[in-house]
Amino acid sequence: MKDLGVTFDPELSFNFHYEDKINKAYSVLGLIKRNFIYLTEDAFVLLYKSLVRCHLEYANLVWNPQRQEQIKDLEKVQMRETKLVMTVKHLSYKERLVRLKLPTLNTDVQEAT
């Protein structure tokens, strides 16, 4: 069942919603990768925040991922996305986030900082 864009299953585990949002983010990632070969850091951040991040964060208060595998899957999307920028591709994931001024998707890390 779907209500306001959030997919519910009988056990209220939100697995369908979670998987749908991950798949949508990857499809938008593919669109960006096909259409924008050389991304500047500013252009990337604009595209990422407006086209991808909104899918990953939509209704996250309702389905807030609790299991580590779900959190890792969400972070994996952002890891792959940040590798598209040639100027920061060689950096580690944390260094790429700092350079692009992007927060991590892991809420535990955000609360600690």
**Which letter does DSSP use for residue 40 in this model?**
-
User: Which DSSP string do the residues of 75-100 spell out, in sequence order?
Assistant: HHHHHHHHTT-TTTTTS-HHHHHHHH
Q: Is residue 8 in a domain? A: no
The answer, yes or no, to whether residue 82 has pLDDT greater than 80, is yes
Domain count, the chain: 1
Range of 96's domain?
14-112
Q: Is residue 108 in a domain? A: yes
Q: Is residue 1 in a domain? A: no
**Which letter does DSSP use for residue 51 in this model?**
I
Q: Are 43 and 36 in contact (CB under 8 A)?
A: yes
Instruction: Using pLDDT thresholds of 50, 70 and 90, give the confidence band for residue 91.
Output: very high
Q: Is residue 6 in a domain? A: no
Task: Compute CA distances 25 → 19, 42, 89, whole Å.
Answer: 10, 19, 20
Q: Is residue 3 in a domain? A: no
Residue 17 host element (H or E): helix 15-35
* pLDDT value, residue 113: 40
Q: Is residue 80 in a domain? A: yes
Q: Is residue 7 in a domain? A: no
The answer, yes or no, to whether residue 112 has pLDDT greater than 70, is no
pLDDT tens for each residue of 12-33 = 666 777 788 888 889 998 888 8
Q: Is residue 41 in a domain? A: yes
pLDDT tens for each residue of 35-81 = 887 878 898 888 888 888 877 776 565 556 667 777 788 888 888 88
**Which letter does DSSP use for residue 59 in this model?**
T
Task: Compute CA distances 26 → 20, 32, 51, 107, 109, whole Å.
Answer: 10, 10, 11, 21, 23
